Amino acid sequence: MPFTKAIYLAFATTIVLLFAGWLARAQLAELAVTTSLPNYGFENVSADVDHLSIRQINLKHFAFTLPTDTGNFRLVAEDASIDFRLQQLRQAQVDSLMIDKLTLYYQADTDVSASNTVVTEALVPVKILATFKQALRDYIVFNSLSINLLSLHGEPFGALERKPLKLQARNENSIITSKLSLLKQHLTGKREVIRQLVVSRLSEDTLQANLRFNKTDETATAGFELGLHDTSIDGKYYLYPHRLTEWLEPFTMHKKIDVTSKVSGSLSVDLSTDERITSTVIAATDRVIFDAYRADQIEIQLKTSTPTSQPFRRIELAKSSYISVGQFSQDEQSLASSLIHLAGDLSTSTDSWQFDGSMSTDSVDVRYQSQSLQLKDVDADILASHELLDIDGRFSTTQVPGRFSFAVDHDQTKAAGTLAASSVDPIDLNAQDDRLSDLWTPWPYPFDLLSGIIRIVANAAWSGSNEFTLDAKIHADNTSGNYNDITFSDLSLVQQLEILPALSSTEPGEIFLAQLDSGVIASNISTSISLQSTATGSLPSIIVQDLYGEILGGSFSADNIVFDLNADSNRFDIKAEDIDLGEIVAAQQLEGVEVTGRVDGRIPIMIDQQGIVIEQGKFISKVHAGTIRYNPAGGTEQLRQNPLTGIALDALRDFRYSHLSADVDFKQDGTLTVNLKLKGTSPELDTKRPVHLNINTEQNLLSLLKSLRYAESVSTGIDQKVRSKYDRSKSNTQDKP
């Protein structure tokens, strides 16, 4: 016999027998109850009738045990009062049922395992819904019900076990309203309502309910309205998570969630099959704050399928489930404009959960402070729980070609974790408009890469008590680009960097550069560079060691250059060797000038916020023999107005020097001053008579170099594709407001 029907028949029989006892004696009524109920499968029946009248029955005590397939159910009622009319009794109905104390016990039978057949039959969804509706029609025997103290004992009652409860209900035309209250027992004996489940309407086709803190609480913590159909349930709900976690504190422990506005949504449940329950749950809210995390403009859709045997313990998420977040942030890191699709298995228990599945999103904007990294085609395998988050996935960069793998290991309890990422397909900048600065915007550095292949391995770490850290190993092959207005090509480097919280090198990086165009071509440049954090500011110092390059037929070198990016100024020396004077003249495109010979020199450089300064640079001829011939096509007649100038011009028509030196100064406005000292002879004057010449020149070197950079005869040294991309990039930057 079904459990619910057995209770109903027992209750009806008890009322009839008690009324029959009123015509005789109370002891006879008690005997009738205790002897007749065992016929319906009840055991250990006891009853103590205190009062009988034609409209009321009072029971000091009433108890019974009902065996079930999986255990024993026992009911004990103390001080019960039943009000009725004779016409109601004929229909097994009563006007009111009041019980001062009702205790329900359930003891599982350890000798009989709950077979799958029994459990499945008990949880066939359509049967449950049909039984529920039948119970509302047939088994609600009261117009009003009041239980002053309800106590539940046994594992199936879960969080309600041994909690002091109070139940009040009314039944009007088969529409039930009720209040189930959680009580707080004071030392004075007074009972205070501290939590309430209020059912405002319960009928065969509707269930409306909300959660409140007490009788005077005007704002509900949560509420729902469900439509109950033959094979489905649908409806809508709302809740305030921060209030809900507080409401649940007497039943379970959860960290408080702060939500500035309510969560609202809808749900639908399909119960048309015996094996599975499928449902769709939609939730939306403006903002959620949980520990160090914050999420704005959230919408969640979960499409689930659960076995009927354990509908709340194991949930399968369909691929059409998703989480949409306007922005998700922790401290200075955030994800913006994310639509994340989810699929997998979610298992839950009273105080824990675990998700084993996958996620994917077409695009996501990763931000740190004001900078943005745009990703696409993100997919990952996820293992998550209330304690941890492990993700293994892949993504592509949106603005430049590149594919990466990544792994996240996050401790939910400590808000700490790590990220490891590496190139699967390297960043390829060889397409027409690709450039490295599109990867991370706004690009904060004065350099850019416009072509080549880049491979990156990155690692990040974060925690609530420590700064976010990010380091990367960068391997660049055959890259070309620019540093401000200086272009370069065929750069190869390996650099191990700590990017956050401060930019620095974890080990020196080797650099080789085939060509550098500053207006004069330098080539075959090699050096070792490292970045070091300093106490002078947030930017690093650049340490340059073993610098070597070729320029103007000779070479330049330097060692142990320390360039502090925080300092107002930095000083270092460049050593020049075996510079071909003929190439200097050719680079400046001086008409009618021919020079032979080579010089060595030292260039002391000072760099500050206004620019570059050279003070007392010194060059001297390496071999004490060379020639200078100055024969411009237009002649020199206009320059001969001064007799001394005329003598110098005559000497320079064919000057054979034994000594050449030059003092060089360069100002921040671009002015280059050269004091040239020459000693030698000139056949135009007298081959035996020594000639000493001091020649002072001044010109704007920056203007000269700018013109040289864009002169076709010089630019052929740099890849035209790189030059074209740099020109377009510079033009686009200037066009931006």
Residue from 12, 135, 31 nearest 84 by CA:
12
pLDDT single digits (tens) 609-623: 888 898 899 999 987
Distance of CA 704 to the CA centre of its chain: 50
Q: Among the listed ranges 28-32, 108-112, 261-265, 541-545, which one has the minimum average pLDDT value? A: 28-32
3-state secondary structure 77-89: EEEEEEECCHHHH
pLDDT single digits (tens) 334-360: 888 788 998 999 888 777 889 899 989
How many other C-beta atoms lie within 10 A of the C-beta of residue 242? 17
Provide the pLDDT for residue 642: 46
> The tokens of 593 are what?
């000038």
CA pair distance 314, 570, nearest whole angstrom: 66
CA pair distance 411, 390, nearest whole angstrom: 9
How many other C-beta atoms lie within 10 A of the C-beta of residue 425? 12
CA pair distance 710, 696, nearest whole angstrom: 27
Higher pLDDT, 156 or 570: 570
Provide the pLDDT for residue 633: 65
**With 90 as the cut, is the pLDDT of residue 275 above it?**
no
**With 90 as the cut, is the pLDDT of residue 101 above it?**
yes
Burial of 147 (0-12, 13-18, 19+ CB in 10 A): buried
How many other C-beta atoms lie within 10 A of the C-beta of residue 132? 14
Q: Is the peptide bond before 38 cis (omega within 30 degrees of 0)?
A: no
Burial of 75 (0-12, 13-18, 19+ CB in 10 A): middle
pLDDT single digits (tens) 514-523: 998 877 888 9
Provide the pLDDT for residue 179: 92
**With 90 as the cut, is the pLDDT of residue 683 above it?**
no
Burial of 141 (0-12, 13-18, 19+ CB in 10 A): buried
CA pair distance 319, 573, nearest whole angstrom: 64
Q: Which amino acid, 82?
A: I
Pairing of strands 94-108, 142-153: parallel
- Residue 529 φ then ψ, to 5°: -125, 140
Mean per-residue pLDDT, 97-119:
70
Pairing of strands 504-517, 486-500: antiparallel
Query: Are 82 and 96 spatial neighbours (Cβ–Cβ below 8 Å)?
Result: yes
Q: Which strand (E) or helix (H) includes residue 385?
A: strand 371-385
pLDDT single digits (tens) 636-661: 554 455 444 667 777 888 889 899 99
- Residue 623 φ then ψ, to 5°: -110, 130
Provide the pLDDT for residue 16: 46
CA pair distance 507, 494, nearest whole angstrom: 10
Provide the pLDDT for residue 688: 75
Query: Are 523 and 505 spatial neighbours (Cβ–Cβ below 8 Å)?
Result: no
CA angle 246, 249, 252 (to 5 degrees): 135
3-state secondary structure 129-146: HHHHHHHHHHCCCEEEEE
Expressed in angstroms, the distance from the first to the final Cα of the chain is: 81
Residue from 421, 416, 422 nearest 468 by CA:
416
Provide the pLDDT for residue 422: 93
Higher pLDDT, 218 or 423: 423
Residue from 421, 345, 334, 420 nearest 383 by CA:
345
CA pair distance 61, 78, nearest whole angstrom: 5
Residue with tokens 């690692």: 459
Q: What is the CA radius of gyration of the chain?
A: 45
pLDDT single digits (tens) 388-402: 999 999 999 888 888
Provide the pLDDT for residue 604: 94
Higher pLDDT, 730 or 538: 538
Provide the pLDDT for residue 644: 46
For 24, residues 6+ apart whose C-beta sits below 8 A from its C-beta are none
Q: For the chain, what is the largest distance between any 2 Cα atoms, rounded to a whole number of angstroms?
A: 161
How many other C-beta atoms lie within 10 A of the C-beta of residue 350? 9
- Residue 370 φ then ψ, to 5°: -95, 0
Provide the pLDDT for residue 728: 58
**With 50 as the cut, is the pLDDT of residue 9 above it?**
no
C-beta pairs of 83-89 under 8 Å, 24+ apart in sequence: 83/55, 83/56, 84/15, 84/55, 84/56, 84/57, 85/55, 86/54, 89/15, 89/16, 89/19
For 442, residues 6+ apart whose C-beta sits below 8 A from its C-beta are 370, 371
pLDDT single digits (tens) 454-512: 998 999 998 877 888 899 998 999 999 888 878 889 999 998 988 888 788 888 999 99
Q: Which amino acid, 155?
A: E
Query: Are 465 and 689 spatial neighbours (Cβ–Cβ below 8 Å)?
Result: no
Among left, alpha and beta (phi > 0; psi -120 to 50; other), residue 610 is alpha
Residue with tokens 């039984």: 131
Provide the pLDDT for residue 5: 45
- Residue 330 φ then ψ, to 5°: -140, 115
How many other C-beta atoms lie within 10 A of the C-beta of residue 413? 10
Q: What is the mean pLDDT of the chain?
A: 81
Residue from 318, 250, 326 nearest 281 by CA:
318
Mean per-residue pLDDT, 179-183:
92
CA pair distance 303, 322, nearest whole angstrom: 9
**With 50 as the cut, is the pLDDT of residue 1 above it?**
no
Mean per-residue pLDDT, 233-240:
93
CA atoms within 13 A on the CB side of 540: 19
Mean per-residue pLDDT, 719-736:
55
- Residue 89 φ then ψ, to 5°: -65, -35
